[in-house]
Structure 1
Amino acid sequence: MSMERIATALDRVSAALRRKPQAGIHDDAAATARWDGGLRTRVLHDAGHELLTDMPAEIGGEDGAPTPGWFMRAGLASCAVTRIAMAAAAEGIRLETLEARASSRSDTRGMLLIPEADGSAVPAQPLEIALHVRIGAPGVPAERLRTLVEWTARCSPVGCTVEQPMPLALHVDVAS
């Protein structure tokens, strides 16, 4: 889709949501993960899309697909790029370069419930996470592009979820 078509679509949706704010509230598409044997999962989208996950051989997986954590980082990076492209389209900026690299540092002991030597818990989530954005647009000052990226970070759904987590509502159904 061209940047002009994106800008037009965003204007149309924004105008509609200003008139009827409640129309913006909706259920997001669910992700259903099914065990595929070993440490593999098959994750299904209601529209038929699917992805596979696996774990590294060192912890019992077959290393046949990216890990669930990698998909979390992929979601962070792709959401950032998507939101920046939306903002650039809305402002009439013609991007030439746009990429985001999400990285993290983790301690596997947390996932395996192995405590520190003093008995304290090791976090299961990443110890740190970073997002590096590379952006370029001919004739657009670097400061304007920096501001665009920083501004969109405040309204990137995945980025906001990572930065400001909310409680997870866990429901368990035991199959018979």
Structure 2
Amino acid sequence: MSATAIAAALQRVQSVFQRRPEAGLHEDAPALSRWTGGMRVVTQHADGHAVNTDMPLELGGSGDQVTPGWLMRAGLASCTATRIAMAAATEGIVLDLLEVEAGSRSDARGLLGMSEVDGRPVPAGPLDMRLRVRLSAPGVTVERLRALVEASCRHSPVGDAIETALPIDLQIDVPAH
């Protein structure tokens, strides 16, 4: 889809949301994960798309699939790139390069439920997250591109969820045998 068509679609949706804010609220498509043995899990979207995950050899997996943690970074990078592309289209900026790399640093001891020597638990999640954005657009200043990226990052749903540490409503079902 062209930048003009994307901008027009976004303008239509924004117009609807301005008139009817409640139209913006919706249930997101759930991700259903099923353990398939070992450390392997297949996660499916309601439309049938599936992603397989596994753990590295040193953590008991086969190491031949991406890890769940990588999927989180992939989601952050993809969501950020999408939001930047949306903003560029809305502002009439024609990008000729857009790459977003999401990285993190983790301590695998947290995944194993281990503690520091002083007894403090080691966090299971990443210790930090970082984004590296490469982009260019003919005739657009560096300052304008930087502003576009910074504003887009503030409105990236995945980035926002990570930064605000969204609480999780845990529900547990144990079927009777």
**TM-score strictly above 0.5:** yes
2:64 equivalent in structure 1: 64
Deviation string, structure 1 residues 15-70 (Cα, Å, up to 9, x no partner) = 01101110000000000000011000000110111100000010100112100000
Name the CA distance, whole Å, in 1 between partners of 2:127 and 2:175: 35
- One-letter code aligned to 1:143: E
What runs of 5+ residues in structure 2 fail to find an aligned partner?
A: none
TM-score normalised according to structure 2 size: 0.98
TM alignment of 1:26-175, pairs within 5 A: 26-175=26-175
SS of 1:119 mapped into structure 2: coil
- What is the alpha-carbon distance in structure 2 between the residues aligned to residue 166 and residue 94 of structure 1? 34
1:36 alignment partner, SS class: strand
Could you tell me which runs of 5 or more consecutive residues in structure 1 were left unpaired when the two chains were aligned.
none
* SS of residue in 1 equivalent to 2:87: helix
C-alpha deviation, 1:165, in angstroms: 1.3
* Residue identity opposite 1:85 in structure 2: A
Root-mean-square deviation (Å): 0.6
Task: Give distance in 2, aligned partners of 1:83 and 1:59.
Answer: 34
- Report the Cα offset of residue 175 of structure 1: 2.2
Identity %: 55
| Whole-angstrom CA distance in 2 between matches of 1:164 and 1:137 | 31
Q: After TM superposition, which residue ranges in structure 1, 4 or more long, deviate above 4 angstroms?
A: none
Distance 2:91 2:114 in 1: 50
> What amino acid does structure 2 have at the position aligned with 1:69?
G
Q: CA deviation at 1:153?
A: 0.9
| Deviation readout 1:73-115 (Å, 9 max, x if unpaired) | 0000000000000000001000011010000000000010111
**TM-score (norm. length: structure 1):** 0.99
